[in-house]
Amino acid sequence: MKTYTSLIIAAAMALTVTACEKTEHPKSEIVKPPIASAADLGRRIERLSADEYEGRAPGTPGGQAASQYIADEMKAAGLVPMGNNGTYFQSVELTETSVLDSSALTITKDGVPILEGDQSSNSVFWTKRLDPSLTVKDSDMVFVGYGIVAPEYGWNDYENLDVKGKTVVMLVNDPGFATQDPELFKGNSMTYYGRWTYKYEEAGRQGAAAALIIHETAPASYGWDVVSGSWTGAQYDLVRPDGGANRTLLEGWLHYDTAKSVLAGAGMDIENLKTVAKAKGFKPQYMPGLKLDARIDQNVEKVKSRNVAGGVKGTKYPDEYVLYMAHWDHLGRNEEREGDNIWNGAVDNATGTAAILEIGQAFVEQGAPERSAIFVAVTAEESGLLGSAYYGADPLVPLKNTVAGINIDAIQPVGKTNDMIVVGYGSSQLEDRLNDILEPRDMYIVPDPKPEAGYYYRSDHISLAKLGVPMLYADGGIDHQTQGKAYGEAFMQEYTDERYHKPGDEYDHSWDLSGIEQTTEILFELGYGIANSTDWPNWYEGAEFRALRDKMRAE
């Protein structure tokens, strides 16, 4: 899930849409959609984020009940079951791991402890391996810059380095963000190499024993409390054939101040290291005298979760599908926390789930279009986009027959706006269609206002995009229709600071649902129009997934 901060929103707000590759396409006669119901949206958001579902964690009774509620709502809306064996469910087998209190991480300098990891304020660690207990002993530590191997950018932070048995320490994001050089990687826009998921995977490929990322709020785009709240407690993954053997023994984060102190213990200055790490030709640097010792004890279980899918069959081209996707899961409950210990996930992502239910209902009420539509509420997004990844590997309808997809993730209850945000703007011809809908409404597209945060790689659309399916990740805007941009900006900032991935993300009856209603109606019109046309929107020329789609269509 993404959030938007105000660092560069003001500049982005002034932008109106400019087509990166404006493509003329045959337009169908689009019937004005029924107005989305704020009452229905509110009812569904409130129910999905209720305490009774205990934060909708995958594999829990609360998650099971929430997914059943979604299936019941799909049935009530008139959507036909599109899951396995004539049901609304696609079973997704997951592993659930929980690090036990007996686990420990220690960093020593010449044998003297200088850090005792506390799984909260200074470090967070876990393992992707499924062993009930494992250890890392006397592991030499080495700073590997950004931990990136990117041949297309002429970059290799591991060049001529053997890290087998060692602990690699690295920075978050990528050198393009650090330098703001548009000629380096993608400049301010984060590439996939900047994502923590990639960095841990690459460390595993290199054979490291452990991998630690130094957290900083600006390049990560979220604060330390998000790290400590998201990577502690039960963690989920897909069931993988090798049991996680291709990953390091330990993965984790270090708080910036903690990393600064640890590095100082080795006679190294963190700011100097950041400077050398962003320059081409960077050479890894050993951390003299530092060693990592760790023990991870964990509970390991296999649990069942499920994607929920319903659809509308097309009248003329029933084998061609428009896809709507939203994740239904959130972070669950932490019974060890005092006070409010349920992460309700009202904005993230009860709003998106409610929206696809509302859009599905509108498809039924408007009348079946010429093409089919499938509405998929996926599980385990918060654990690494797992439900959408599973769907991509085992799609309920063939990806080659999926005309286009729309992902909805966390619509803010800011009220009606003059704009819509497109994350990953400049990617596909779906943006042209969206603009055609917005212009008569006197609305405009705002490109992703914070591309350095890598939001394009942080929601479920990417699981299908990287397989070639054109996907649009659009959201409500910030330019409030009556109170202006400053109001919307402050609203978003308050959510980011106070509620995102926190127990405070709860439904509030004072919410202004008109903006969620507006976004839902627009995204309905977009998908319904595609479903009543014969064209196949594609990625723009030069987009990273264009070749995959062209090959898919050719076949």
Instruction: For residues 279-290, give the mean pLDDT.
Output: 96
Q: 532: which residues sit within 8 A by CB, 6+ positions away? A: 28, 29, 30, 369, 370, 371
**Domain stop point among 300, 333, 367:** 300
Ranking 28-42, 379-393, 467-481 by mean pLDDT, the lowest is 28-42
pLDDT band at 6 (very low <50, low <70, confident <90, very high): very low
pLDDT (tens digit per residue) in 479-517: 999 999 999 999 988 998 899 989 999 999 999 999 999
Tell me: do 283 and 332 sit in the same domain. Answer: no
Closest Cα partner for 474 from 529, 532, 432?
432
For the chain, how many structural domains are there in total?
2
| 307 located within any domain | no
* pLDDT tens sequence across 515-543: 999 999 999 999 999 999 999 999 999 88
Residue 33 above 80 pLDDT?
no
Answer yes or no: is 305 within a domain.
no
Do residues 355 and 482 share a domain? yes
Residue found by looking up tokens 């996707």 in the block: 325
Pair 55, 19 in one domain: yes
- pLDDT of res. 22: 39
Q: What is the pLDDT of residue 220?
A: 93
CA distances from 470 to 129, 409, 456, 489 (A): 33, 17, 13, 29
| 139-156 average pLDDT score | 96
Residue 16 has pLDDT above 80, yes or no: no
Residues 280 and 385 in one domain: no
Residue 408 sits in the same domain as residue 260? no
**Confidence (pLDDT) at 240:** 84
Q: Please, which residues bridge with residue 116 across strands?
A: 106
Q: How much is the pLDDT for 34? A: 58
Same structural domain, 288 and 234? yes
Range of the domain at 432: 9-87+313-554
Helical axes 38-48 vs 351-366, angle rounded to 10°: 140
Q: Is the pLDDT of residue 383 over 90?
A: no
- pLDDT of 448 over the 60 cut: yes
User: If DSSP codes are grouped into helix, strand and coil, which group holds residue 521?
Assistant: helix
Domain assignment present for residue 1? The answer is no
Residues 33 and 82 in one domain: yes
Residue 18 pLDDT exceeds 90: no
Q: Are strands 210-214 and 167-171 parallel, antiparallel or unpaired?
A: parallel
Is 318 within a domain?
Answer: yes
Q: Is residue 430 domain-shared with residue 284, that is, in the same domain?
A: no
pLDDT confidence tier of residue 7, bands split at 50, 70 and 90: very low
Among residues 178, 208, 196, 200, the alpha carbon closest in space to that of 277 is found at 178
**Domain containing 112 — which CATH number?**
3.50.30.30
Residue 362 is predicted with a pLDDT of 97
Please state, in angstroms and rounded to a whole number, the distance separating the CA atoms of residues 222 and 241. Answer: 32
The CA distance from 225 to 212, in Å, is 17
Mean pLDDT of 412-418: 97
Domain boundary residue, one of 251, 272, 300: 300
What is the per-residue pLDDT across 215-267, written as a single tens digit (0 to 9) for each?
Answer: 999 999 899 998 998 899 888 888 888 889 999 999 999 999 999 999 999 99
Residue 425 and residue 548 in one domain: yes
pLDDT-derived band at 25, boundaries 50, 70, 90: very low
The reported pLDDT for the residue numbered 488 is: 93
Whether 166 and 291 share a structural domain: yes
Q: What are phi and psi of 546, to 5 degrees?
A: -65, -45
Which of 278, 300, 322 corresponds to the end of one domain? Answer: 300
Residue 270 has pLDDT above 90, yes or no: yes
- Domain assignment present for residue 92? The answer is no
- Does residue 81 sit in the same domain as residue 168? no
pTM greater than the 0.85 cutoff: no
> Which CATH number characterizes residue 492's domain?
3.40.630.10
Does 216 lie in the same domain as 319?
no
pLDDT digits (tens, 9 = 90+) for 293-325: 999 999 999 999 999 999 999 999 999 999 999
In a domain, 525, yes or no: yes
